[in-house]
Structure 1
Amino acid sequence: MRISVIGCGYLGAVHAACMAELGHEVIGVDVDPAKIEYLRRGEAPFFEPGLPELLESAMATGRLRFEEAPALEELADVNVHFIAVGTPQKDDTGAADLTYVTSAVALLLEAIPEGSHPVVVGKSTVPVGTAEALAEILEARGITLVWNPEFLREGFAVQDTLSPDRIVYGVSNDPEHAQRGRAALDEVYASLLASGIPQIVTTYPTAELVKVAANSFLATKISFINAMAELCEATGGDVADLAEAIGHDDRIGKKFLRAGVGFGGGCLPKDIRAFMARAEELGVADAVAFLNEVDAINLRRRDRVVDLATKALDGDVTGRRITVLGAAFKPNSDDVRDSPALDVARRLADMGAAVTVTDPEALPTVRRVAPGLPLEPDTQVALEGADLVVLLTEWREYVDLDPASVRTLVARPVLIDGRNAIDPAHWREAGWTYTGLGRPAAP
């Protein structure tokens, strides 16, 4: 198949490389010339394990290339066009900004010759109802639309594209367009479907809801265990033991039950807020009103870490040296969008603390978005002379630190584990004052 991917950010670059890996001829298109230059060199413009190797491999075959928008001539004879642009949160309402989606559709309408009948596939996360509105415009030109939501986890995006746990198609109510769209995507994903990956063919609204419903459920599960952490802190309970106990119930499961500083990134926070905004537009705000509390619980965990840091430093952080381990919202990523780690580091710095932030991958990004924050790439150097260490992103190298060795570097062996990622007993035995979220103080 001849495939285009409109938008070569996190989703689009991964998707383009993976489609070429599946044997298709792929052109990636983006308006950002710097991003295109990176990709043309076979370099990922962001950190994602496995992507640089995949780009290099795919480009060596000649099946993958990248062009700066509009690239109209190159798009004219494409069979399937994927829309993989961002849908950021609007500052004023929390709703999704569809500017990039509508611009991508306008680009395709200009590029696709009259009388041509390609298939356009939406992968961007959009408010329910968007696909039906776009399909009306595209079908008037004989163009078929399918909505094919993505379910990528940062740090595992290549794996999740090449070996997804399900493939969802949202197809037109028009039988001819529905059949054409399904046939085209079946050909795109032929090898994946042949391997037995579950396929769900449904309506546009359902396909749009699948992604936001999944993210809302995950956010709810995380905030639930963080709410339990608040109760444990009030009663002397241990949220880690609590999570293990309820996680053995097959109806609940253990995943996403680690209490800590909460979720962030470019998906969960924006998606649940956009979901609430769209529900309000549809007149069913009460149906997702619980997500307001999910969001509030999540943000309260950041407040709690700041409070614990202040308490650990005798009520005043001014001038005290605090080392923050981690800036990305999760390990194996350089994404600092709505990162709890970066938010806490900024707050402590604004309170007058001498904060030093370290992270294996995210520091170049932090330098752009928080230029005044002191950064140190070397973990050992970052720890030197610290009055307080705060672990906020559970990178393996931080989890595996030797507490006895690290103690020789700091001024005071005091640690706040904002991810409940390390063994309290191990660190306490090495002489550290350890504080976790929702975990009891040392006996």
Structure 2
Amino acid sequence: MAPALTIVMLPIVKISVIGCGYLGAVHAACMADFGHEVIALDIDAAKVERLGQGIPPFHEPGFEDVLKRALASGRLRFTTDPSAIGEAELHFIAVGTPQRGGSYAADLSQVDTAVAFLLDHARSDEQPVVVAGKSTVPVGTAQSIADRLAEGGLDAVVVWNPEFLREGYAVADTTRPDRVVYGLPEDAERGEIGRAALDEVYRPIIDSGTPRLLVNYPTAELVKVAANSFLATKISFINSMAELCDATGADVTRLAEAIGHDDRIGPKFLQAGIGFGGGCLPKDIRAFMARAGELGVDQSLTFLREVDSINMRRRDHAVELAAQMCGGRLVGLKVAVLGLTFKPDSDDVRDSPALDIAGRLWGRGANVVATDPAGADAVRRVRPDLQIVDTADEALQGADLVMLLTAWRDYVALDPAHAKSLVAVPRIIDGRNALDPTAWSQAGWDYRGMGRTASTW
């Protein structure tokens, strides 16, 4: 557990944050809440306008309060004007690095734009400016940026400071992280400039005793992708165990509980289901594989191909299980899909297993009626062909099959007797193993989980 945060009076640091997506907007607001002066830059005028009005462009618990507080203090401004970053002493690069079209590799075009903005507008008249990268990038990027800034005539100390945000916990992970990592240049004097600058910005975090790791560029760049690859491997491992449990009658949730008591393994990320998604894990492990190939060490990460394959296979399994429960055909049957985002407490539908499964069911001829408390509007934009309703009761009405695909609290807390009174046929697939199989079975439902069934033991 992260140590308690003690807010102290800080020397004000003038900061710019380039990129106002999920990472950048949260970081900018939290740094202003720490007491720093922050100018946040993005080229998306609509996003900047909303943020400037205190309206979050994404769903993130607790963020709106921090955003409004930071704006009211006068310490936070949002802009589309790159020249506004000129007065900053420290610049954070917090842009997206999505998967490149037609490739596993990361698309660094937004990073390139951020570097161009720095070359055009950042100032290093009396002393070096500090540029802190937070984006998840291929190893080698930090040195490349440092070289480009130097070649362009900007005296800048580049520090790589990877983010470890979990959607749904971003504010806490920014203000009370479990560790901070500084990737510093090999030149000790310039590295000390970068360390001192970040220590000043993160003073409440540092003073609270949060571990701080000083490493070189490559190590800092590898931390995030290595962590995500480990977590993805752990998730795919338990999902492969779910396949074995389906074949043998074992219960994957009890299996996970049993092996999780081994402190070398631990219980976290051993929740079998329909697999992982979102804007980080899938693209990060693919970019990691691509970069390993570029470095000539692709064999070191070949296991990640199977991790990715297992993850995608879970989606196939969910659709096939749906067809099996409905007698082999889905055409014309109403399927109620509960949850469309890749995880609860988020409106993110990027690479969402739930949304992908809903689309596959629709492609198989099912009448899909779906609902999600935060992601409905996003789904209406990207999949206008799907029928989206506002409540679980609307989705359940007359359904031939129910699929719980995102474990929102309201769905997990559904009363099986009430739900049964709404559907046409009481069949449910628990894609997140979040329900009590015994309670649902005793209420008259044909319950199927991912590697689990209703069992006495």
Would you call these one fold, judging by a TM-score over 0.5?
Answer: yes
Give the CA deviation at 1:173.
1.1
Amino acid at match of 1:111: H
SS of alignment partner, residue 105 of structure 2 = coil
Distance in 2 of aligned mates of 1:114 and 1:224: 49
Counterpart of 1:408 in 2: which secondary structure? helix
Question: Is residue 41–residue 78 contact of structure 2 (8 Å, CA) maintained in 1?
Answer: yes
**Please, which of 397, 400, 405 is the counterpart of residue 418 of structure 2?**
405
Question: How many residues in Structure 1 have an aligned counterpart in Structure 2?
Answer: 441
| CA positional deviation for 1:174 | 1.6
Q: Give the match for residue 86 of structure 2.
A: 76
Q: Does 1:102 align with 2:112?
A: yes
| Contact 2:339 2:408 (8 Å CA) reproduced | yes
CA drift of 1:378 comes to 1.4
Partner of residue 119, structure 1: 130
Name the SS for the 2:388 alignment partner. coil
Of residues 327, 351, 360, the one that matches 1:314 is 327
Instruction: Show the counterpart of 1:274.
Output: 287
Alpha-carbon deviations, 1:44-85, whole Å to 9, x = none? Answer: 000000011111111111111100132x0x211101100000
Distance in 2 (alpha carbons) for counterparts of 1:362 and 1:267: 17
Match among 60, 63, 66 for residue 51 of structure 1: 63
How far apart in 2 are the matches of 1:105 and 1:99? 10
Matched, 1:196 2:206: no
Shift of 1:302: 0.5
Asked if 1 retains the 8 angstrom alpha-carbon contact of 2:437 and 2:453, the reply is no
Are residue 64 (structure 1) and residue 76 (structure 2) matched? Answer: yes
Q: Please, which of 148, 165, 185 is the counterpart of residue 137 of structure 1?
A: 148
Q: Hey, what's the Cα distance between the residues in 2 that align with 1:262 and 1:149?
A: 25
Q: 1:391 aligns with which of 404, 426, 438?
A: 404
Find the residue that maps to 1:155 and give its secondary structure. Answer: coil
Show CA shifts across 1:12-60 (max 9, x none).
0000010011110111100000000110100100000001111111111
Q: Distance in 2 between matches of 1:440 and 1:189?
A: 48
2:56 is the alignment partner of 1:29: no
Cα displacement (A) at 1:91: 2.0
1:231 to 244, 248, 256: 244
Runs (5+) with no aligned partner, structure 2: 1-12
Q: Are the aligned partners of 1:138 and 1:145 in contact in 2 as well (CA < 8 Å)?
A: no
> Is the partner of 1:216 in helix, strand or coil?
helix
RMSD, aligned CA: 1.0
1:139 deviates by 3.6
Amino acid at match of 2:220: A
Q: Which amino acid aligns with 1:180?
A: I
Describe how 1:350-369 pairs up with structure 2 within 5 A.
350-369=363-382
Measure, in 1, the Cα distance between the counterparts of 2:454 and 2:295.
47
Task: Give SS of 1:196's match.
Answer: coil
CA distance, structure 2, for counterparts of residue 69 and residue 50 of structure 1? 28
CA distance in 2, matches of 1:113, 1:195: 32
Q: Is the 8 A contact 2:289 2:298 kept in 1?
A: yes
1:92 to partner: Cα distance: 1.4
**Secondary structure of residue in 1 paired with 2:77:** strand
Distance 1:427 1:77 in 2: 61
**Structure 1 residues 350-359 or 134-143, which shifts more?**
134-143
Which amino acid is the alignment partner of residue 249 of structure 2? G
**Which residue type is aligned with residue 119 of structure 2?**
L
Paired AA for residue 204 in structure 1: Y
3-state secondary structure, aligned to 2:387: coil
Matched, 1:254 2:267: yes
The residue identity in structure 2 corresponding to 1:348 is: L
Say if 2:318 is the partner of 1:340.
Answer: no
Greater shift, 396-405 or 167-176, is seen at: 167-176
For 1:355, what is the secondary structure of its paired residue?
Answer: strand
Aligned equivalents of 1:335, 1:165: Cα separation in 2: 24
What is the deviation of 1:222?
0.1
Identity across aligned pairs (percent)? 61
Report deviation, 1:442.
5.8
Structure 1 runs (4+) greater than 3 angstroms displaced: 440-443
Corresponding position: 1:205 with 2:218? yes
1:9 is matched with: 21
Amino acid at match of 1:306: V
| Offset, 1:429 | 1.0
Q: When the two structures are superposed, what TM-score results if normalisation uses the length of structure 1?
A: 0.98
Secondary structure of 2:239 counterpart: helix
Separation (CA, whole Å) in 1 of partners of 2:28 and 2:245: 46
TM-score normalised by structure 2 residue count: 0.95
> Counterpart amino acid of 1:102?
D
Amino acid at match of 1:79: E
Structure 1: 5+ residue stretches without partners: none
**Residue of 59, 69, 90 corresponding to 2:100:** 90
Tell me the CA shift for residue 114 of structure 1. 5.6
Q: Is the 8 A contact 2:123 2:129 kept in 1?
A: no
SS at match of 2:87: coil
Q: 2:442 aligns to what?
A: 429
Task: Tell me the distance in 1 between the aligned counterparts of 2:371 and 2:87.
Answer: 47
